[in-house]
A and B are shown apart, each in its own frame.
Chain A
Amino acid sequence: MAITSENFIKWLENYAALLNENKAYLTDLDSEIGDADHGINMDRGFQAVLKKLPDAADGDIGAILKTTAMALISSVGGASGPLYGTLFLEMAKSADGKAELTLEEWAASLAVGVEGVARRGKAGAGNKTMLDALFPAVEALKQASSEKRHLKEALQASCNAAEEGMKATIPMVAKKGRASYLGERSAGHQDPGATSSFLMLKAAAESLA
């Protein structure tokens, strides 16, 4: 079973819809430990992605991901713009010229994207960031891939791992980003970046297979 360009387009459309539905929720999370703009920014970014997607629809998966990256970089702003932009840009490089991805290739692509985020943000696991949802999702995909599981199962596993990772941010004290200015006060709140990352993997579980 392979993931096609159509799947990728569906995924991005689905993610855009989830971000739109959850705009207020993400913003509320960001009010607790940030500056109340994460939901607004991600929604704006993915609305911009939707506008550009038709131009890339005929292209390979790399082109679709690159178009997404550039749209995000130029419309989201904040830290999320460069970080999500880097995620998609690095994934785009690994999927360059490909019309289809196997589960193994998707796992590798997401891994490379997430490494890019870690590098750019100079962050690691446990800092209370988007990485705390993304790292577990990558591990789950790699594991499922090595166990030769079905695509749908693997995608669901990575979604579940992301959800657990997102929830695990609640007790963490933030060490990166705006939440880190709050020190201990950031504990007890779910990280907005980890939440939007979970939604991305949720959309993937629904649309990439």
Chain B
Amino acid sequence: MKKLINNPDEVVRDSLLGVAAAHPDLVKVHFDPNYIVRADAPVRGKVGVVSGGGSGHEPMHGGYVGMGMLDAACPGAVFTSPTPDQIFEATKAVDGGAGVLHIVKNYTGDVLNFEMAADLAGMEDIKVEAVVINDDVAVEDSLYTAGRRGVGTTVLAEKIVGAAAEEKRPLAELTELCRKVNANGRSMGMALTSCVVPSAGKPTFELPEDEMEIGIGIHGEPGRRRVKIQSAREITEKLAEPVIKDLPFKKGDRVLVLVNGMGGTPLIELYIVYHELAKILDNHGIQVARNLVGNYITSLEMAGCSITLLKMDDELIRLWDAPVRTPALRWGV
């Protein structure tokens, strides 16, 4: 497959150099170990909010570093969790004396590496709390799986918690708020194609021309089931109904809707999905309070989409609307 890269083994480094060159007013990029930190870190008296994960999901998480959102993001190798030293150094770099919150997606690697980093931070007397995001309804949360994956709600949590952190709210409150967002968000995704990890050089899985994967994650890993491709209307129903049923979202609820592209699907199609989703929500009597349509948590060039619904209240809406200035999200400034 054709990619716009130089050396496949240098993709992450080359890209981080581009981020540093493009956004010097917003972020600083540190190499060896790699992390992206807001240009004015550490902000004294403010809780540092740190996240991270494999590269290949851009703009998540590096694109969300800046005022009103993340203080630091740790990019691992493509689809690979970052290592404890990256997370530890990033944690130290954003420690403004009020503690640090780690927002961790529920993948075994992410959880283990963030845990080890939190141990290291603890040894240096930095107070760290961690909240694990596990909003994906495609996986059964049971004793028999690694648990539900952290997907779209991660982005929404980073924005909402980031806004609250900007108000200098204490670590315990931010931890509670993050848990609340996680508890009220649900997501599900699907793929029309796989994707190619640069160092692997070939697609992670083969998807025939007339089939799609329902219930995918964000790493090009195969999903729960493979079915014949259907219309946008039918696909949106297949994603929306399990999400709505899972919380459940009820008549009269106000929601934040994220219609997210996996990277390879054009905006023209995402808006078709949004239209279908808006009709479904209307049928259920669920009110759309806010929305986001575009590529926010991707899987390289995978074609497909995911939807996330987050149940909102006045406070969450206010925090969502609060100013943010990062490479990927910018409003109110």
Contact status B77-A35, CB under 8 Å: no
Q: How many whole Å from A44's CB to the nearest CB in chain B?
A: 7
In the assembled complex, which residues on chain A have CB atoms less than 8 Å from the CB atom of B14?
none
Q: In the complex, A37 Cα to B54 Cα: how many Å?
A: 11
Interface string of B137-150 (1 = CB under 8 A from A): 01110011110010
Given A37-B197, A79-B109, A185-B222: A74 in contact with B83 (beta carbons within 8 A): yes
Residue in B84, B115, B221 whose beta carbon sits within 8 Å of that of A181 in the complex = B221
Most buried by B among A35, A77, A175: A35
Contact status B204-A35, CB under 8 Å: yes
Most buried by A among B81, B108, B204: B108
Contact status B113-A77, CB under 8 Å: yes
Contact status B220-A35, CB under 8 Å: yes
For residue B217, CB closer than 8 A to chain A, the reply is: yes
Q: How many whole Å from B81's CB to the nearest CB in chain A?
A: 5
Contact status A176-B222, CB under 8 Å: no
In the assembled complex, which residues on chain B have CB atoms less than 8 Å from the CB atom of A173?
144
Q: In the complex, A80 Cα to B108 Cα: how many Å?
A: 9
* Chain A: interface size category: 20 to 34
Total count of chain B residues near the partner, CB < 8 A: 39
Residue in B77, B107, B223 whose beta carbon sits within 8 Å of that of A44 in the complex = B77
Contact status A31-B145, CB under 8 Å: no
Interface string of B40-80 (1 = CB under 8 A from A): 00000000000000100000000000000000000011111
Interface SS majority for chain B? loop
Q: How many whole Å from A144's CB to the nearest CB in chain B?
A: 32
**A residues with CB within 8 A of B:** 27, 31-37, 40-41, 44, 73-83, 120-121, 173, 175-178, 180-183, 185
Contact status B80-A77, CB under 8 Å: yes
Contact status A180-B145, CB under 8 Å: yes
Contact status B221-A27, CB under 8 Å: no
Given contacts A35-B79, A40-B197, 16 further A-B contacts (CB under 8 A): A32-B205, A33-B222, A37-B78, A37-B197, A44-B77, A76-B83, A81-B83, A82-B84, A82-B109, A82-B115, A180-B139, A180-B144, A181-B139, A181-B149, A181-B224, A182-B224
In the assembled complex, which residues on chain A have CB atoms less than 8 Å from the CB atom of B140?
183
In the assembled complex, which residues on chain B have CB atoms less than 8 Å from the CB atom of A176?
108, 146
Q: In the complex, A82 Cα to B111 Cα: how many Å?
A: 10
Q: In the complex, A41 Cα to B76 Cα: how many Å?
A: 11
In the assembled complex, which residues on chain B have CB atoms less than 8 Å from the CB atom of A40?
77, 197, 199-200
Closest residue of chain B to A173, judged by CB? B144
For residue B219, CB closer than 8 A to chain A, the reply is: yes
Contact status A81-B81, CB under 8 Å: yes
For residue B82, CB closer than 8 A to chain A, the reply is: yes
For residue B116, CB closer than 8 A to chain A, the reply is: yes
Q: In the complex, A173 Cα to B226 Cα: how many Å?
A: 18
